Amino acid sequence: MNADLDMEMYFKKDYMQFTGSFKERGARYTLKKLTSEQRRKGVIAASAGNHAQALAYHGGLLDIPVTVVMPIVAPIMKVENCKKYGANVIIHGADIGESRLHALKIVAKKGMMYINGYDHPNILAGQGTMGLEILDQVPDVDAIVVPVGGGGLIAGIALAVKTMKPEVLIIGVEPEMCPSFTSAMKHGQPIHTPTFPSLADGLTVPTAGVNALATGGHLIDKMVTVSEAWISIAILRLIELEKAVVEGAGATGLAAVLAGLLPELKGKKVVLPLCGGNIDTTLLGRCLDRGLAADGRLITFNVVVSDRPGGIAELTRIISNVGVSIKDIVHERAWVRTNTFAVGVRILAETRNRKHSKELFKLLREAYDDVQILGYYDSPEDYVAGNLQSSKFESVEDENPFEGNMNIQYNQDLDMENDLDDIPEVDSEISHEDLSNSIDNLKITTKLAEKTSKASSRLN
């Protein structure tokens, strides 16, 4: 990945913490700083998952009662983990803001201490330990690209790193679906920002932290927002190239680099915190599919073929021979307008890259009159804009398939003619004596099988 992006990247793999995120840093430090009375009453927090898990886990280790209020959009896996760690889990609110208001009402009734997962001073101090570790592990780092939600992590890292090495660039990345920290920096104070569902669910905080903004706002060199398409591609790249399963929030830093939003980092040493790995398995599957689609490697198209025996077989043979994998196939007769003896075949397929996809389109158009490209993105920008049928399809005939046999997969049908040439001729005439002996052997074998079956039945 470094060679492709022309920079020296280092991944800070905090998704490998016990609960799967960097939140353990602030949670442990804050819980250790509680008074004996606060320990007895317990603590409460509002969280979409990672902060809740960290508090639940370390609260259990320190024997401190923990209650967490989670929004309805919180991933199921994170909810179940909180319960497993021993926390009292309350599902309330459409987003983290509504969950927070509900948690504060409980605080007023029961007197528990509320621990803001991104704005409590001790939380910020705990998260700042990541910055100190980065300077220790990559002393000559040029820039750190940090995912931003409420701002606690970037504030802690910025304060720690800028104190030790002021020349290091601190860059924040938010999802386009919730740019709350960017809005706060523009207005000079936290303001409520509308949020929408995002692959980076851990970063969809509608109002940035006051303490986080005051602590880190003036130390941040740049803020950018990244689209859902690039987040999905970043998740895909980390799995394919780094063998790292990272949630959307943890992959936003890489997403910004892949999207070309940080050209000033070319040729520099860059640290990207992979700050969380708690992604729902169902959501992971969606991310991978969307990443493949945005990458031009997952395509869907419709071809009208003959409805005679072998019509669909011929189509799949063409697809197989070019090395494309069929993921799903459906045929439809009722909506085909050409003739009664034709069938429309809709196929979802996976290719190696965009060039491979265009090669397939070229071959299909050479073989069939009616080929419709229903789903293909010529770039992640097309994915963002929803341009499924780009005008660039008109020039797909200019694409030349690779020469040679590198795309040809093993297929018995292809080798049949050559194999027939290699088969020695056999005398078709069989003597009466050989035929009689074969029949006798078959009768003996059949009788033996019948006896064995009867004996088995008696034993049962």
Question: Strand 371-375 vs strand 8-12: parallel, antiparallel, or unpaired?
Answer: unpaired
Query: What are the φ and ψ backbone dihedral angles of 165, each rounded to 5 degrees?
Result: -140, 90
Separation between Cα atoms, residue 23 and residue 28, nearest integer Å: 9
Rounded CA separation 236/415 (Å): 36
Helix (H), strand (E) at residue 385 = helix 380-385
Q: Is residue 90 within 8 Å of 181, Cβ to Cβ?
A: no
Question: Which helix (H) or strand (E) element contains residue 319?
Answer: helix 311-321
For every residue of 128-142, DSSP letters joined together read THHHHHHHHHSTT--
Q: Which pLDDT score, from 0 to 100, does residue 451 have?
A: 53
Sole residue written with tokens 């201490």? 113
Please give the Cα distance from 282 to 373 (Å, whole number).
27
- The answer for residues whose C-beta is within 8 angstroms of residue 363's C-beta and 6 or more apart is 318, 322, 401
Q: Which phi and psi angles does 60 have, rounded to 5°?
A: -65, -40
pLDDT at 388: 63
In this prediction, residue 412 carries a pLDDT of: 44
What is the model's pLDDT at position 42?
Answer: 94
Q: Are the CB atoms for 398 and 410 separated by under 8 Å?
A: no
- pLDDT for 403 equals 45
Per-residue b/e over 393-403, b at no fewer than 16 CB within 10 Å? beebeebeeee
Query: Do 117 and 47 touch, CB atoms closer than 8 A?
Result: yes
Please tell me the predicted confidence (pLDDT) of residue 414: 46
> Cα–Cα distance between 141 and 153 in angstroms, integer?
18
Q: What digits encode the pLDDT tens for the residues 335-366?
A: 677 677 888 889 999 998 888 888 888 889 88
> Quick one: pLDDT at residue 440?
63
Phi, psi of 312 (to 5 degrees): -70, -35
Q: What parts of the chain have a pLDDT lower than 50? A: 390, 402-417, 419-420, 423, 426, 428, 455-460
CA 437 to mean position of chain CA atoms: 65
In angstroms, what CA-CA distances link 89 with 325, 326, 337?
44, 43, 57
Residue 250 has what pLDDT? 93
State how far the Cα of 212 lies from the Cα of 222, in Å rounded to an integer.
Answer: 15
pLDDT at 449: 52
Q: Which of 155, 166, 160 is CA-nearest to residue 129?
A: 160
The Cα 144–Cα 269 span in angstroms is 9
Which H/E stretch holds residue 349? strand 342-350
pTM confidence score: 0.76
H helix count then E strand count, the chain: 19, 13
